[in-house]
Amino acid sequence: MSTVAWWMEAGAVLCWLVAGIAAVRAIRRPGRSDGCYRWLTGLGCLLVVTLLGWLWLALDRPPLRTLGETRIWYAGLSVVAGSLVAWRLGTTSLRLPMLIMGILFLSLNLVFPQALDKTLMPALRSPLFVPHVVVYLLSYAVLGISGGMALWRFIRRHPDPDLPFRLVHAGLPLLTLGLCLGAIWAKEAWGHYWAWDPKETWALLTWIAYVALIHGERGLRERPRLALGIIAGCFVVVLMCWFLVNHLPSTAVSVHTYTRE
Amino acid sequence: MRTVTSFFGVLIGAWIVQAIHPTLALQLPGPPWNWLLTAGPVGLAASLAWWRSEHPLVRGLGSASLAIASLLSVAATCWPIAVFPVGVDAPHWLNWFGLADPLSSLPFAIAMAAVAINLAVSLGRRLRCGPDRLRFTILHLGLLTAILGGAAGHGGLIRARFIMEEGAKPGDAVTAVDGRRVRLPVALCLDDFVLDRYAPMLLVAEADGSLFRGEVLIGSGAHDLVRGLQIEVTEWLPSAAVVADRPVPFSEPGTNPAARVVIRDVGGGILGDGWLHPPGPYGSELFLALPGGRSLHLDEPRPQRYLAKIRADGVSHEITINHPLRVDGWAIYLLSYDESLGPASRTASFEAIEDRALPAVYIGLGLLILGVLMHLWKPRVAGDRV
C-alpha cells in the first residue's frame, strides 16, 4: 500500500515541480499563456486527492492518523487553498509559495515513507476527528503560504506585507475554529476541554502569536520588514505545534502522542 | 502606552514575588466566590468602559497595545508547560523564575486578568459605539465568556477518579482529586467490560534495535512485505496459548492469536519458518531470529474499541471513550482498563466530573465559532480595526 502511495506522491511532486518552472517562466516572460502551469498544478492536486480518497477507502478510516498522512493533506491543501485564495484576490504572487510548500511537505514523505495500516485508536473514533484536523491543516496551509511568502519578501528586500497579512486574516479564523472544535472534542473524550497538554499549550501559543500579530497590524504596516520577519517567525510556532513538539521533553506527558507514529 | 508600562511593572513585580516565594500558589475558591472574583471585576470594567468610553484610562485598558502585551505575557508565563514535563520532571531552574507551577503562579494570574479586563473594556466601548464590526464584538464576547467560564469553573470543578470491578456492589461514594468524599447522583456498578482488538501486525526488529511495522492485519493466508521480507501466513490460530514453546488452541478472553509464517527474501529463498505469538497472560512470546541479527515478531493486537456496560440506579448504560454518561450535571467518563490483562480485564477506571460553569464555556465557544464563520463570510478589509 505504501509503495502505491509513494509513487502517487512522487507523481504529484513531479507535476508541481514542472508547474513551478512554468510559473517562473511566466514571471520572466509576462503575457505568455500559463496553461502548462494550470494543467500541471491541477494534475498534481488530482493525484493527491485521488491518493487521499483511495487511502480513506483502503484503510477504512480517515487518513489523518500519522504525521505522514497529515503531510499529504497539508501539501494538497496548500496548493488547493493557495489557488483559491489567489483566484479570489486576483494575484499570481501565491503560485510559487504554495507550490514550494506542497513540494516540500510531500517530499518529506518520499524521503521518510511511513507504513500505512488500518488501525485507529479508540479516542480518534469521533465525528469531530475529521473536521478538527482538516480545519487545522487548512489553517496551517494558509499560514504556511503566508509565512513562506513573508520570508521570501524579507530575504528579497521586497517589503510589502499586504498579501501575507491578508492570508493571516484567512488562516487565523480557521486556527480559532480548529481550537474550538478540539476543545469540544476533548471534553467529550477526556472530560476536559482544556487540559494544558503540551500540544494544546503549543496550539494556544500559536493562536496568541497570530492574534497579537493582527492586533499590532496597524503599527507593523508602517515597518514592513519587521512585519515580514514576524509573520515568518509566527509560522515557526505553527511548526512547533504541528510536529516539532514531538521532539521536546514535554511530549513524555502528552496525550497527543499518536502523532509520533 | 502608560497603561502597558504600568501593566509590565505589575507583572515584573509579581514575577519577583513568585521567584522569592516559589511555593506561592493561587487557587480560585469554590462557588459563589469564584464567580464574584472573576465576573465581578470584568463586569465593573465593562460598565466603566460603557459609561466613560473616552476616558484615557478606559482607552488604555481597552487598547490593542494592552491586548498584545497581556497575550504575550500569558505566553511568557505558560511556555514551560509546552516545553518541559512540568509537574513530573521539570528542570529545577524554573523555580528561579517563579515558573515551577506556571498555572498557579502570580504572573500567570495577572496576565490572564489583564486579558479579561482588556476584553471587557473593549466590549464595553464597542457596545457604546453600536453594532459596528459586529463579528469582532461577537469574537471578543465569545472569548471573554469562555475565559470567564473556564476560570470560574476551575474554582467550582469537582473531579473524582475511581475504579470499578465487574460484579462489585453498586456504590455512589467516591474520593475527589482534592481528597474530599463526594456522592455521585446515582449508584454505579460495572456489569461488563468489553475490549475489541484489531488483528495483530508483523514487526521486524533490525540489529540496531529499530522497529518496522508491517501494514497488513494478520489472519489466515495473509501476506505482507516488511523491510524486504516476504512473509506468508501458513497456519493461523485466532486464539492460542503457548505450552512448551508451542502454540495450542485456547479460547479465553485475553488470549492472543498465533501465526505460523514462512519468510522469503526478494529472490524467493526461504529465510525462516516458524510460529509467532505476541507476549500475553497466556504464554510468552514466540519470534523468529533471522540472519544479520534481525528478528520477526507478531505485535500485540491494538485496541479497536472498548466500552463499559454499567448500571446506574438499576438502569443499564454503555460508556465508551467518546460517549460519557451524563446524569444530573455530572458526566462520567471511561478512562482506561487493566492494560496488562487486555480483553481479560475485569476492571475499568472512570472519572466523574461536575462542572456547573460548562454552559458558559460552551456559549463562549459557540460565539467564537459564530464570529469566525461571520469573519470568513465577510473577510476583513485592509485598515479595518480589530
Cell of B191: 456489569
Taking CB atoms within 8 Å and a gap of at least 24, the contacts of B40-44 are B41/B113, B41/B116, B41/B117, B42/B116, B42/B117, B42/B119, B42/B120, B42/B144, B42/B148, B43/B120
Q: Which of A187, A210, A244, A260 to mutate to test the interface with B (most CBs of B within 10 A)?
A: A187
- Cβ atoms of A248 and A256 closer than 8 Å: no
**DSSP codes joined into one string, chain A:** -HHHHHHHHHHHHHHHHHHHHHHHHHHHSTTS--HHHHHHHHHHHHHHHHHHHHHHHHHTS-S-SSHHHHHHHHHHHHHHHHHHHHHHHT-STTHHHHHHHHHHHHHHHHHS-----S---GGG-STTHHHHHHHHHHHHHHHHHHHHHHHHHHHTT----HHHHHHHHHHHHHHHHHHHHHHHHHHHHHS-S----HHHHHHHHHHHHHHHHHHTHHHHHTSHHHHHHHHHHHHHHHHHHHTGGGGSGGGGG-S-GGGG-
* Beta-bridge partner residues of B337: B348
Residues of B in contact with A198 (CB under 8 A): 81-83
Give pLDDT, residue B132. Answer: 63
Q: Do A245 and B217 touch (CB under 8 A)?
A: no
Q: What is the DSSP letter of B267?
A: T
| Torsion sign (Cα): B209, B213, B219, B222 | negative
A56 vs chain B: nearest CA distance in angstroms? 15
* Per-residue pLDDT tens over the stretch B31-66: 788 888 889 999 999 999 999 988 999 999 999 999
For residue B297, the surrounding DSSP H or E stretch is strand B295-298
The span from the CA of B75 to the CA of A202, in Å, is 9
Q: Do B304 and A245 touch (CB under 8 A)?
A: no
Q: Which of B77, B83, B332, B351 to mutate to test the interface with A (most CBs of A within 10 A)?
A: B83
Of B217, B375, B386, the CB nearest to A215: B386
Instruction: Give me the phi and psi of A57, to 5 degrees please.
Output: -70, -45
**DSSP codes joined into one string, B127-191:** HHH-STTHHHHHHHHHHHHHHHHHHHHHHH-EEEEEEEEBTPPPEEEEEBTTS-EEEEEEEEEEE
Cell of B34: 469564584
Residues of A in contact with B159 (CB under 8 A): 191
Q: Do B68 and A215 touch (CB under 8 A)?
A: yes
Q: Is the pLDDT of residue A134 over 60?
A: yes
B244 vs chain A: nearest CA distance in angstroms? 32
Residues of B in contact with A190 (CB under 8 A): 333
- Cβ atoms of A83 and A89 closer than 8 Å: no
Side-chain half-sphere CA neighbours of B24 within 13 A: 18
Q: Is the pLDDT of residue B384 over 90?
A: no
Give pLDDT, residue A125. Answer: 93
Query: Is residue B235 very low, low, confident or very high in pLDDT (cuts 50, 70, 90)?
Result: very high
Q: Is the pLDDT of residue B355 over 70?
A: yes
- Cβ atoms of B355 and B156 closer than 8 Å: yes
* Per-residue pLDDT tens over the stretch B242-291: 998 899 999 888 889 999 999 998 888 899 999 999 998 888 899 999 98
Give pLDDT, residue B377. Answer: 81
Of B71, B84, B159, the CB nearest to A208: B71
Give pLDDT, residue B201. Answer: 95
Q: Is the pLDDT of residue B171 over 90?
A: no
For residue B14, the surrounding DSSP H or E stretch is helix B2-20
pLDDT: which is higher, A16 or B96: A16
* Per-residue pLDDT tens over the stretch A221-247: 999 999 999 999 999 999 999 989 988
- Residues ≥6 apart with Cβ < 8 Å to B4: B60, B63, B65, B66, B69
B245 vs chain A: nearest CA distance in angstroms? 29
3-state secondary structure of B349: strand
Residues of chain A with pLDDT > 70: what percent? 97
Of B82, B198, B304, the CB nearest to A201: B82
Mean pLDDT to the nearest integer, B339-364: 91
- Cβ atoms of A143 and A171 closer than 8 Å: yes
- By C-alpha distance, the chain B residue nearest A176 is B372
Give pLDDT, residue B224. Answer: 93
- By C-alpha distance, the chain A residue nearest B326 is A188
pTM of the model: 0.92
Residues of B in contact with A216 (CB under 8 A): 64, 68
Q: Mean pLDDT over all residues of chain A?
A: 92
Cα A119 from chain centroid (whole Å) = 24
Cell of A166: 491578508
* Per-residue pLDDT tens over the stretch A159-196: 889 999 999 999 999 999 999 999 999 999 999 999 99
* Per-residue pLDDT tens over the stretch B190-222: 999 999 999 999 999 999 999 999 999 999 999
Alpha carbon dihedral A15, A21, A22, A28, in 10-degree steps, equals 170
Reported residue count of chain B is: 386
Q: Mean pLDDT over all residues of chain B?
A: 90
Query: Is residue B22 very low, low, confident or very high in pLDDT (cuts 50, 70, 90)?
Result: confident
- Please work out, in degrees rounded to the nearest 5, the angle formed at the alpha carbon of residue B197 by the alpha carbons of B192 and B203: 150
A105 vs chain B: nearest CA distance in angstroms? 22
Residues of chain B with pLDDT > 90: what percent? 63
Query: Is residue A93 very low, low, confident or very high in pLDDT (cuts 50, 70, 90)?
Result: confident
Q: Do A117 and B217 touch (CB under 8 A)?
A: yes
Q: Do B368 and A180 touch (CB under 8 A)?
A: yes
Q: What is the 3-state secondary structure of B72-138?
A: HHHHHHHHHHHHCCCCCCCCHHHHHHCCCCHHHCHHHHHHHHHHHHHHHHHHHHHHHHCCCCHHHHH
Give pLDDT, residue B372. Answer: 93
Q: Do A201 and B368 touch (CB under 8 A)?
A: no
Give pLDDT, residue A176. Answer: 97
The span from the CA of A120 to the CA of A123, in Å, is 8
Residues of A in contact with B321 (CB under 8 A): 122-123, 125, 189
Cα B50 from chain centroid (whole Å) = 39
Q: Is the pLDDT of residue A261 over 60?
A: no
Q: How far is CA B42 from CA A154, A169, B19, B109, in A?
A: 41, 28, 28, 14
Reported residue count of chain A is: 261
B54 vs chain A: nearest CA distance in angstroms? 20
Give pLDDT, residue B130. Answer: 67
Give pLDDT, residue B315. Answer: 92
Helix axes A67-89, A162-190, angle to 10 degrees: 140
3-state secondary structure of B262: strand
Give pLDDT, residue A258. Answer: 53
Q: Is the pLDDT of residue B24 over 90?
A: no
Q: Do A166 and B353 touch (CB under 8 A)?
A: no
Cell of B49: 468602559
The span from the CA of B293 to the CA of B277, in Å, is 19
Listed range (B70-84, B160-174, B321-335) with the worst mean pLDDT: B160-174
Residue written as cell 486556527? A175
- By C-alpha distance, the chain B residue nearest A198 is B82
- By C-alpha distance, the chain A residue nearest B214 is A115
Query: Is residue B178 very low, low, confident or very high in pLDDT (cuts 50, 70, 90)?
Result: confident
Helix axes A95-111, A67-89, angle to 10 degrees: 170
* Beta-bridge partner residues of B298: B202
